[in-house]
Structures are given as structure tokens and as C-alpha cells.
Amino acid sequence: MIISRPTRDQSATARRPIDLAKIDVAVIGAGAAGLAAARRLRAGGLATVVLEARGRIGGRAFTVTKSGLPLDLGCGWLHSADVNPWVDKARALGFRIDETPPPWFRQTDDLGFSRAEQTAYQTASDAFYDRLEAAKDAEPDQPAAAHLEAGNRWNPLIDAISSYVNGVELDRLSTRDFGRYADTEVNWRVGQGYGALIAAYGADVDVLTDCPVRQVDHRGPGVVLDTGRGEIRAKAAIVAVPTPIIARETLTFLPKLPAKIEAAHALPLGLANKILFGLPRPEVFAENGHLIGSTTTVATGSYDLRPLGRPIIEGYVGGRLAAELEAAGERAFADFAAAELIGLMGAEIRKELVFLTATAWGSDPWSLGSYSAALPGGAEQRAVLAAPVGTNLFFAGEATSMHDFSTAHGAYRSGIAAAEAALAVISRG
């Protein structure tokens, strides 16, 4: 079977054929992991196709243009940028890297609470993370919330920050898993958008979009995939989908893989959503400023003012609050964020805010969340999820990374690792 796909310009008329009768490896999922795997396999001389359920590539990296501005609806920060492989790829592809340090909790007058309070918060936060680090190898693995100091005035804000960083509050976060995360604390942005970068990186990969995979039959020496475009056979498959797709058995395996399902349940995706406002008079707001909605409740937002100098506010909500607002609809995001900003800056600020959009990653049927956070006791399941099955089935994705989970660079590295494992097996055969 030969199917055509758009070439790099993505036009309807310029197409290149994919011969599905001659596929060595089928990659399921065209996010950062799947695209990285496909490019590595192609470099190794294997015929590869990526099967993507959505009508676009990039997965949870997604840049849109509104009011003439590129807006990252998914991942937006090059975390650990000094060692992040996407930085070199961005520069090679002509993308601009903005190295302006993020505004998170630097001493400033625009956070919404005083410098003295900021110092007190930082002291409490540092002490909490010191306790978390000391307990990361303790048995049994505990919820991170167990290491909060009882009654500390700053506990709600510490918990709120977790909801942005991890997508979950501390009661749903594994101490051990969090302790394994590798962070150089260098964070940069991609001028034209992180999602645009990943889409550009994958633009010449052979991808079939609108092609969900329903089942992977791995009983034979190869694999047989039941897809939205019919049956596809290959020598091997790399599964690079978010954990809920495996946990809920949207994608099934024959024979079944109960260990993978259990691992996926232990590594659910947390939820972090964005709320974006345009600013008709940007000069009213501090460039690269930052506000916290409230320091006394976990259910609050974080607001980047004019990031990259642009006339927008990029708000973040996470965890249970993000889920509640998502369930209530897009208007609920706008009303909640506007109310917090008015509470901080005064009623006159309402006329300065033009709602652009809000994300709803928990409702996206092909992600069902934002990024993985291991439940207490679930840290070891990352290795279980990453392990190959036999010689024809391999796994990738940020959730399979032991140290770079929840990031696009973790996804990239996992895709390269899965591709190299598949190359080694197929080359021996």
C-alpha cells in the first residue's frame, strides 16, 4: 500500500509517496519523542513511518499565531537550556533563542507581594525542598506534601507552584520521582515558539496524520498495526504516546501488556493550562514582569507580563484548579484570571485585557493532560514503561525518562534511545 503525504511545504498538491509495504519501523505518535525516533531511524538506514492521531505533528508542543504573535499553547520553556538538545537544533533551523532569565521569584516589586514576604517565602520554600531532597531515597516513598512544615504560612504557595511545575499538587507527587528530576535551572525561550521549532524539526519526516493506532499485534517476529488507515505491518514499532492512551487502553496490545498498563496508571499526566490576554496598551504592564494571584490559596494563577517584550499576559493554572476551570469552559479561565489581575492591580485594569485563548489539555483526546508526574510509590514505573517488549516493541516519551520527564528534551532523548535500541535489534536480524 502506498499513501501520499505532504512534503515540507505542507501543501495539498506537493506530495511524496510512502510505501507502507516496505516499512522497517512504525512509530506511533508524532510528538517530540516520535519525531526524534523517526529521524534517528532514518539516519540508520531504516524505512520508517510515523503514525499520528492528530491532524498535525508536535504533540504537546503546539504554537499558534494570534494577533500576529506566535503563542505556545504547549511547552514553552527550554528547561535546562545549557544542556538541552533543542537549543542547537533551534539555532541550526534559524530559530531565535531568548536567554532572558525567567521572572520566577527574583526579588522584584511586581510579584504582587512585598520583598520582605518574598524573602520569607523563599526561606520556607528552600527549607521544604531541602527536606524533599533528604527524603528522596527513604522507604516508603511518600507524597511530597508529607514534607511541608505543618501550619507554615507559605504552604499554599509552595503547593500552587507544584501545580504549575508538576501539573499536580504535592499530595499527588512522588517524593522519589521529583528528587530524580535533573534541572540546571537555566531556562530560555524560543522566539518563534517551541511548538514551531519541533514542527520544523519534523517537517521532512514521513508522517501519516489523522491516523490513530487502535491495536499493536506483537505476537509475530514483526508487528501488525490496526490503524485509521487500515492494517500496517513492520519489523518493529516504537510507541511514543502519552500515558493515558495506554492506561485507558485507547491503544491496546495483543497480547495484552498488563505491566505497561499498571506503569501508565502510576504515571498519569498532570494538568497545566495557559490563559492568554492581549494588551492594547502594553506600556501599562512591566516588561518580563510576574504576578502571583494569591499567596494564601493553592487555587491561584501565575502570570507572566509581556514575556519576550510582547503585548500579552501569559497566565498559568495547574492541578485541580486547572481541571475545574477546564470543565467550566473557556470563559471560566478568562473570568478567573481577570479577577485575580484586577485584585492585584485595580478595577481599571479590566479594560486593558483582551482575552485571546485558553488551553484545555485535559480534554484533548490524544493527550488527556499536560505532562507526567509519578504518583507516590510510582517512581520505579518509569523504567517499566520504558522497557522494550521482546525484539519488536519499544517505548518512548517524556514519561519514560528517569531524569528529564515532563520536558520536550526528555521526550527527544527517549526517542533517540528507543530508536537506537530498535536499530541494534534489527541490524542483528
> Which domains occur in the chain, in start order?
2-58+202-268+371-428 (3.50.50.60), 103-186+272-368 (3.90.660.10)
What band does 237 get if pLDDT is binned at 50, 70 and 90?
very high
What is the identity of the amino acid at 426? Answer: I
**Residue 270, SS3 per DSSP:** strand
pLDDT of residue 93: 98
pLDDT of residue 422: 98
Task: Report how many helices (DSSP H) and strands (DSSP E) the chain contains, helices first.
Answer: 12, 23
The CA-CA-CA angle for residues 162, 109, 164, to 5°, reads 15
Average pLDDT of every residue of the chain: 94
Nearest Cα to Cα of residue 387 among 375, 402, 376: 402
**Residue 102, SS3 per DSSP:** coil
- CA distances from residue 72 to 63, 189, 194, 388 in whole angstroms, order as listed: 4, 10, 7, 33
288-307 residue pLDDT tens: 999 999 999 999 999 999 99
199-209 residue pLDDT tens: 999 999 999 99
72-130 residue pLDDT tens: 999 999 999 999 999 999 999 999 999 998 887 565 666 678 888 999 999 999 999 99
What band does 173 get if pLDDT is binned at 50, 70 and 90?
very high
pLDDT of residue 429: 66
pLDDT of residue 5: 44
Contact 321, 299 (CB under 8 A): yes
8-state DSSP, 108: -
pLDDT of residue 115: 86
Q: Is the pLDDT of residue 343 over 80?
A: yes
Ramachandran angles phi, psi of 85, nearest 5°: -65, -20
392-427 residue pLDDT tens: 999 999 999 999 999 999 999 999 999 999 999 998
Mean pLDDT calculated for residue range 362-379: 98
DSSP H helices in 15-84: 32-43
Mean pLDDT calculated for residue range 1-5: 43
pLDDT of residue 404: 98
- Burial of 135 (C-beta count, 10 Å sphere; 0-12/13-18/19+): middle
176-189 residue pLDDT tens: 999 999 999 999 99
Contact 409, 77 (CB under 8 A): no
pLDDT of residue 36: 98
Contact 267, 372 (CB under 8 A): yes
Q: Which residue do the cell numbers 510507541 mark?
A: 239
8-state DSSP, 174: B
Peptide bond before residue 255 is cis, with ω within 30 degrees of 0? yes
Contacts of 251 by beta carbon, 8 Å cutoff, 6+ apart: 28, 213, 214, 215, 216, 239, 241, 245
C-alpha cell at 373: 508526574
212-224 residue pLDDT tens: 999 999 999 999 9
pLDDT of residue 105: 53
Q: Is the dihedral of CA 339, 341, 346, 347 positive or negative?
A: negative
pLDDT of residue 209: 97
Q: Is the pLDDT of residue 1 over 60?
A: no
What is the identity of the amino acid at 214? Answer: R
**Residue 98, SS3 per DSSP:** strand
pTM (2 d.p.): 0.95
pLDDT of residue 10: 39
Please give the share of the chain, as a percent, with pLDDT higher than 70.
94
Q: Is the pLDDT of residue 14 over 80?
A: no
- CA distances from residue 215 to 49, 232, 255 in whole angstroms, order as listed: 16, 11, 10
- CA distances from residue 151 to 119, 124, 142, 390 in whole angstroms, order as listed: 18, 12, 19, 51
**CA–CA dist 68, 66 (Å, integer):** 5
pLDDT of residue 8: 36
The CA-CA-CA angle for residues 195, 201, 204, to 5°, reads 125
Q: Is the pLDDT of residue 148 over 60?
A: yes
Q: Which residue do the cell numbers 498519569 mark?
A: 268
